[in-house]
Each structure stands twice: as structure tokens, then as C-alpha cells.
């Protein structure tokens, strides 16, 4: 405590041992000494008004002129505000500080104790193992975090930032020197060199790796937080977004990935994580056998129940009625991880149960129910295991009841083996969900009722996310209706939506006759599935001509043909613009 005593007792504060480190005026140093005196007497913080009145006693208000000195000390990082609502010091006027309390920062207390702010680093020596190397890298992230916090609260060129930058430079140089002397294979360093990752990419990766080791609540995973970590100013924040956007080196190389969700406030947030194979190779480098996760597509090929869907479209690509879209957005908010975590905290959900949702999409054929299910999965970064319910009787005659259970058992088995959470899609689920027969029933009716009872039991106990599509909600058995916590209607598109569908589906590079007016096509009352089929059929007809040219009459012919055929099957009409 020699430095502390010297600072308190030296009559001329400018001659104290630590004055050269303070980079302050004599008046500012005197303020620090006065607060330090209060601190050793047991007072952690001091009211600025009382502080200045004690130091500058007079009958006037000259002590107010010294408020700027208090602000300077806050900006230098020697003092901090004792406040429940921290604000940026750079935005505070000196007069606003008059009735606030201030105290000494840990940095200043360390200076009083050690007499220096230099980083105390051990002698340079080889790393004993990769964990020791990780310890230095995690300390590196701590320094980046501290600088980020200071940048958000004080001037960017404050003494606090300068000190931390010096520490960071010393640490990074020391890491390089120790790596050069280390003969043992350092997995993370080798990985950085193999992937040719620049300094900022390394910082992002190490920050995410630190989250894996510390098992925190994703404090460093959010996109803006990671960008803030490596950015000095607004220009760099804009520039560094490219490191975490589609097509960036980290994402395109399969090093990291993200989950994208609508947050409770209506915006979209991205939470980043290290891809599993990469993470395992870093955390368990001693394992010679590669840790791999069974791929869902490989297992699906071995069974005959489900079709595996990886959607290429997200909810933004789907043209829907405004009410339907609003309901879907609300659904997205309710399955957001932050919302689920709150429900777990409140005891409403089990921590192990994950996201549970049983959803019915209902409406006329061709209105986009299946495409929306695929697109919802894309937005949730999930795959889809799709089952065509119309095949259940023909596939399993005589064993329908047994194989209803097999549908769900197989779904759980695939999810467990692959450690994934696919969405179960039950397409054309009308016969599963319809009202059960009563009164004088035949053997066939009895079998159908039994099959429905088993299906009802499975829906009741379902774990995960399930979407069932059906044409008519009115035909659904009330017992089933109660089991689904989301019922979302799909209406036929209006003129405005039909115009959007035509513009999306018409070939962009195809030749059209002069004066071709797509708005006239939108006059015809068609579903999205019908429009897609009409566009395809017209394209096939035009493509075989010697001089292919799309005319308005070509489309009108196909519209008439489609209306005359009067198909009522979403599957036959299609919806996806492949």
C-alpha cells in the first residue's frame, strides 16, 4: 500500500509517484486524492456537490466551475457514476453531474495498489497444451469486451481505451511469441491458419467458443454484440457487418451458423454458434475418431414413411392474406427462444421439452398451405419430415391403427438419432381429423374410428412442432380441434395478391408480345396453385414453337382449361415455383 500512502500524504500531488500515470491536471488529481481519502475512511462514493464544496469552500458559486474536472475524470476512466440508469458520459453536461454520486474505478484502485497499469505478463514460454492457449485467447476477448463497454459510455479516445489497447497489443504479441516457441500442435491456431481467418474473424470465433465453454445465456452470440466487439466507430460497424452476412467467409466455409427468429418486439435477431463438427474438433482435439452426427437425409432414405424437405423459400417469399401473415408472425414470436426461456423460467414449460406447437393450416386447395409450412421451417432453420395422410389406408390396409403409431414413433426415432428438431408435416390430414362415426357403424367405420382415436392420443402427447393441412376446418372433430393450439386460415388471394403472384411466377427472361399487361391476368379469380400451374402449362406450349413468344391469349386459353377441369387438389395444382 506504499503507493496509496504516498498519494495521500504527498503535499504537492504533482510530485506523487502515480501522477505521471494519471494524465490529469493538478486540480483533477486533487479531486481524486480527496475521494481516495474518503474511500480509505470507508466511504465508497461521494456526492459531487459535497465533494466540490469541501474542496473549494467560498461564499459564492465558484465550485461549480470545477464540474468540468469531474466530467474529465469520468471520461478518463478514473471515476464512475453510481447510478441505476447508466448513460453515456459524453452526452452528459457538467451541471447534470452536480447531484450525482461518483466513486473510484477498479482501474484507479489497481493503480493505487500496484503503482502501475502495465499488464503483468509472465515470461514468454511455450504453451503446455491447447487449454493454456485458450486461456490467453479468452483473456483477449475480455479485453475486447471491456473496450466495447467503454466505447458505448465515454469518448472513444479516452485514456481507458488507450490503456486497454496497450494491454491487448502486449497480450497478442505474447500469444504470437508463445505459439512460435510451442512445438506441440495447437488445434485452434492450426485451425485459424488452415481456414485463413483474419484477426476479426478469429475474435468472433473465439468469442463464440468462449460462450460454449462458459455455457452462458448467449450474451456474445447476438449479431450486433459481435459487431460492436470488433468495431471502433460507426463506419467500422457498417463495414464489419459483412463478416456475419450471407456469403461471408465464416458462413460460406461452414465454420459458424446462426438461428434467425422474429423477436418479441417485431424485429429479426440472429444468434450465432459454431458448427457442431468444428466445435467438437476444437473442444476434444485428443479424440482421433471424428465426432459426427447422423445426417437426417441418410436415415430418411432407409424408411418409406417420410419425405425430407429442405425448403428454399422463407416466409418473406410467400404471398398470403394479411391476416394470415399477421397470425404467422405472432406464431414466430411465440416460438422465439427468448420467449420460450421466459416460459421455462416461469414454470409454464419444462426446460427439456423444447418448442412445442400443434398447428392446423386450413383453407381451399392451392392457397399455399404446404409452401407456407416449408417456408416456416426455413425461417426457423428446421427441416421438414412430410407425410401424405391420404396414403395411410392404401399403404397399411388392415394395420392402419398400428401404423398410425409407427408414424410418430419413427418421427421421434429420427429426431433422437440425429439430435435435430424437424417439423412434422401431415399433408391432407382430413381423414385423420374428420368427425368420427357414431350409431350403427360398419367394420370399416370401426377401424377408421380406432385409427382416429390413436391419432388423437398421439396429437395429445406430441413433442415438438407439428403442422397439419386440411381443406375444411368445419369438418374437423371437436376433440382434435381442441388439441391444436394454433389454427391458421388460408384464404383465396385478392386481386392485389394475385398480381403479386403472377409477377413472382412469370418467367423473367421470356419474350412477351408488345403491350402484354399482367394486371389483366390478375382480374381472374385464381389461387396461387392454379396460377403456378397455368404459367407452367403455358410455358410448355410456347417453348415448342419455332418463334416462342408469350401472348395474353396463351394465358387465357390455359385459364379456361384450368377452370373447366375444376381440379380440387392442392397437390395436383402445385404451389411452389420450381
pLDDT tens column, 508-544: 999 999 999 999 999 999 999 899 999 999 999 999 9
Helix and strand element counts for the chain (H, E): 28, 11
Closest CA to 340 of 324, 352, 325, 358: 352
Euclidean distance between CA atoms 578 and 575, whole angstroms? 9
What pLDDT digit, counting tens, does each position of 278-295 carry?
888 887 766 544 444 456
Closest CA to 451 of 469, 474, 431, 468: 431
Domain end among 224, 255, 283: 283
Q: Are residues 102 and 172 in the same domain?
A: no
Which pLDDT value is given to residue 319? Answer: 87
Euclidean distance between CA atoms 10 and 18, whole angstroms? 11
User: pLDDT band at residue 216, thresholds of 50, 70 and 90?
Assistant: low
Q: Are residues 72 and 139 in the same domain?
A: no
Q: Are residues 422 and 321 in the same domain?
A: yes
Which pLDDT value is given to residue 12? Answer: 92
How many distinct structural domains can be found in the chain? 4
Place of cell 409477377: 503
| Phi, psi of 460, rounded to the nearest 5 degrees | -55, -40
Mean of the per-residue pLDDT values for the chain? 81
Contact between 101 and 49 (Cβ < 8 Å): no
Euclidean distance between CA atoms 184 and 469, whole angstroms? 58
| Lookup: cell for 224 | 450486433
User: pLDDT band at residue 157, thresholds of 50, 70 and 90?
Assistant: very low
Q: Are residues 512 and 476 in the same domain?
A: no
Which pLDDT value is given to residue 399? Answer: 61
HSE value, Cβ hemisphere, 13 Å, CA-based, for 298: 5
Which pLDDT value is given to residue 168? Answer: 84
Question: Which residues have a Cβ under 8 Å from the Cβ of 114 and sit 6 or more positions away?
Answer: 3, 120
DSSP 512: B
- β-strand 486-489 against 465-470: which pairing, if any? unpaired
Closest CA to 386 of 463, 296, 325: 296
Q: Are residues 247 and 360 in the same domain?
A: no
**CA angle 128–130–134, rounded 5-degree value:** 115
What pLDDT digit, counting tens, does each position of 434-475 carry?
766 666 666 666 777 777 888 888 888 888 889 999 887 777
> What sign results for the dihedral spanned by CA atoms 474, 476, 477, 483?
negative
Domain end among 89, 114, 139: 114
Q: Are residues 166 and 204 in the same domain?
A: yes
Segments forming the whole domain that contains residue 507: 495-573
* Inside any domain, residue 125: no
Q: Are residues 217 and 276 in the same domain?
A: yes
Which pLDDT value is given to residue 573? Answer: 37
* Inside any domain, residue 307: yes
Closest CA to 306 of 450, 427, 487: 427
| Lookup: cell for 136 | 490467453
Which pLDDT value is given to residue 454? Answer: 84
Bridge partner residues of 423 (DSSP): 384
Euclidean distance between CA atoms 394 and 208, whole angstroms? 50
Q: What is the CATH number of the domain that holds 313?
A: 3.40.50.300
With 0-12 CB in 10 A as exposed, 13-18 as middle and 19+ as buried, what is 327? middle
| Lookup: cell for 464 | 415438438
Q: Are residues 483 and 500 in the same domain?
A: no
Largest CA distance in the chain: 107
Q: What is the CATH number of the domain that holds 92?
A: 1.10.10
Is residue 567 over pLDDT 60? no
Euclidean distance between the first and final Cα of the chain, in Å? 75
| Lookup: cell for 89 | 458520459
* Inside any domain, residue 204: yes
Return the exposure string of 125-145: e unless at least 16 CB atoms fall within 10 Å of the residue's CB, then b.
eebeebeebbebbeebbebbb
Domain end among 114, 148, 173: 114
| Lookup: cell for 24 | 490529469
Long-range contacts of 110-113 (CB under 8 A, 24+ apart): 111/3, 111/18, 111/21, 111/22, 112/3, 112/4, 112/7, 112/18, 112/36, 113/1, 113/3, 113/4
- β-strand 101-104 against 45-47: which pairing, if any? antiparallel
Q: Are residues 226 and 144 in the same domain?
A: yes
Q: Are residues 108 and 134 in the same domain?
A: no
* Inside any domain, residue 335: yes
**CA angle 382–477–426, rounded 5-degree value:** 25
* Inside any domain, residue 289: no
Q: Are residues 71 and 186 in the same domain?
A: no
Which pLDDT value is given to residue 40? Answer: 92
What pLDDT digit, counting tens, does each position of 5-54 carry?
999 999 899 999 888 888 889 999 999 999 999 999 999 889 999 999 99
User: pLDDT band at residue 481, thresholds of 50, 70 and 90?
Assistant: confident
Q: Order the strands of the 45-47 sheet from edge to edge.
A: 45-47, 101-104, 79-81
Which pLDDT value is given to residue 165? Answer: 79
Q: Mean pLDDT throughout 218-238?
A: 84
What pLDDT digit, counting tens, does each position of 350-397 carry?
655 556 788 999 988 888 899 999 988 888 888 899 988 876 655 545
What pLDDT digit, counting tens, does each position of 315-338 carry?
878 888 888 888 888 777 766 667
| Lookup: cell for 307 | 419425405
> What sign results for the dihedral spanned by CA atoms 7, 12, 18, 24?
positive
Place of cell 476479426: 200
* Inside any domain, residue 322: yes
* Inside any domain, residue 119: no
DSSP 576: -
Q: Are residues 333 and 461 in the same domain?
A: yes
Question: Which residues have a Cβ under 8 Å from the Cβ of 299 and sit 6 or more positions away?
Answer: 414, 417, 418
* Inside any domain, residue 124: no
What pLDDT digit, counting tens, does each position of 298-315 carry?
777 777 788 888 888 878
Amino acid at each position: 500500500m506504499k503507493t496509496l500512502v504516498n498519494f495521500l500524504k504527498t503535499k504537492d500531488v504533482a510530485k506523487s509517484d502515480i501522477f505521471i500515470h494519471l494524465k490529469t491536471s493538478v486540480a483533477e488529481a486533487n479531486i481524486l486524492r480527496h475521494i481516495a481519502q474518503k474511500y480509505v475512511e470507508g466511504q465508497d462514493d461521494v456526492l459531487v456537490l459535497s465533494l466540490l464544496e469541501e474542496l473549494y469552500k467560498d461564499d459564492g458559486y465558484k465550485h461549480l466551475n470545477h464540474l468540468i474536472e469531474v466530467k474529465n475524470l469520468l471520461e478518463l476512466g478514473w471515476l464512475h457514476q453510481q447510478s441505476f440508469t447508466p448513460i453515456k458520459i459524453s452526452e452528459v453536461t457538467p451541471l447534470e453531474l452536480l447531484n450525482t454520486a461518483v466513486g473510484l474505478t477498479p482501474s484507479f484502485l489497481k493503480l493505487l495498489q500496484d503503482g502501475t497499469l502495465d499488464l503483468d505478463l509472465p515470461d514468454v514460454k511455450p504453451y503446455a497444451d491447447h487449454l493454456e492457449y485458450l486461456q490467453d485467447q479468452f483473456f483477449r476477448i475480455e479485453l475486447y469486451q471491456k473496450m466495447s463497454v467503454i466505447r458505448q459510455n465515454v469518448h472513444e479516445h479516452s485514456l481507458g481505451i488507450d490503456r486497454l489497447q496497450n494491454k491487448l497489443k502486449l497480450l497478442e504479441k505474447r500469444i504470437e511469441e508463445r505459439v512460435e516457441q510451442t512445438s506441440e500442435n495447437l488445434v485452434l491456431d492450426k485451425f485459424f491458419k488452415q481456414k485463413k481467418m483474419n484477426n476479426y474473424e478469429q475474435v468472433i470465433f473465439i468469442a463464440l467458443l468462449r460462450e460454449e465453454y462458459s455455457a452462458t445465456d448467449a450474451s456474445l452470440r447476438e449479431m450486433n454484440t459481435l459487431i460492436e466487439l470488433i468495431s471502433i466507430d460507426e463506419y467500422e460497424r457498417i463495414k464489419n457487418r459483412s463478416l456475419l452476412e450471407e456469403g461471408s467467409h465464416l458462413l460460406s466455409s461452414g465454420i459458424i451458423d446462426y438461428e434467425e427468429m422474429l423477436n418479441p418486439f417485431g424485429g429479426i435477431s440472429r444468434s450465432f454458434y459454431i458448427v457442431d463438427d468444428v466445435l467438437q474438433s476444437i473442444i476434444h482435439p485428443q479424440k482421433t475418431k471424428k465426432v459426427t452426427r447422423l445426417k437426417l437425409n441418410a436415415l430418411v432414405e432407409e424408411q418409406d414413411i417420410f419425405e425430407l424437405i429442405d425448403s428454399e423459400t422463407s416466409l418473406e417469399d410467400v404471398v398470403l392474406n394479411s391476416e394470415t401473415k399477421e397470425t404467422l408472425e405472432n406464431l414466430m414470436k411465440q416460438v422465439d427462444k427468448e420467449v420460450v426461456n421466459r416460459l421455462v423460467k416461469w414454470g409454464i414449460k419444462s426446460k427439456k421439452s423444447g418448442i412445442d406447437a400443434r398447428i392446423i393450416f386450413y383453407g381451399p386447395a392451392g392457397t399455399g398451405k404446404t409452401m407456407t409450412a416449408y417456408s416456416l421451417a426455413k425461417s426457423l432453420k428446421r427441416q421438414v419430415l412430410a407425410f401424405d395422410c391420404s396414403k395411410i389406408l392404401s399403404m397399411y390396409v388392415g394395420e392402419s391403427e398400428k401404423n398410425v403409431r409407427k408414424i410418430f414413433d419413427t418421427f421421434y426415432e429420427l429426431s433422437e438419432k440425429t439430435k435435430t428438431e424437424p417439423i412434422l408435416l401431415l399433408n391432407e390430414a382430413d381423414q385423420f381429423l374428420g368427425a368420427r362415426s357414431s350409431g350403427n357403424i360398419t367394420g370399416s367405420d370401426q377401424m377408421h374410428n380406432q385409427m382416429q382415436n390413436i391419432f388423437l392420443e398421439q396429437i395429445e402427447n406430441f413433442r415438438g412442432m407439428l403442422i397439419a393441412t386440411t381443406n375444411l376446418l368445419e369438418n374437423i372433430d371437436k376433440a382434435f380441434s381442441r388439441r391444436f393450439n394454433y389454427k391458421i386460415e388460408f384464404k383465396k388471394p385478392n386481386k392485389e395478391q394475385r398480381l403479386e403472384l403472377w409477377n413472382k411466377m412469370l418467367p423473367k427472361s421470356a419474350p412477351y408480345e408488345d403491350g402484354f399487361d399482367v394486371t389483366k391476368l390478375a382480374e381472374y379469380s385464381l389461387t396461387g396453385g392454379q396460377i403456378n400451374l397455368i404459367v407452367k402449362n403455358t410455358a410448355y406450349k410456347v417453348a415448342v414453337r419455332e418463334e416462342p413468344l408469350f401472348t395474353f391469349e396463351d394465358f387465357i386459353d390455359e385459364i379456361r382449361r384450368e377452370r373447366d377441369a375444376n381440379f380440387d387438389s392442392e397437390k395436383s395444382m402445385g404451389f411452389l415455383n420450381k
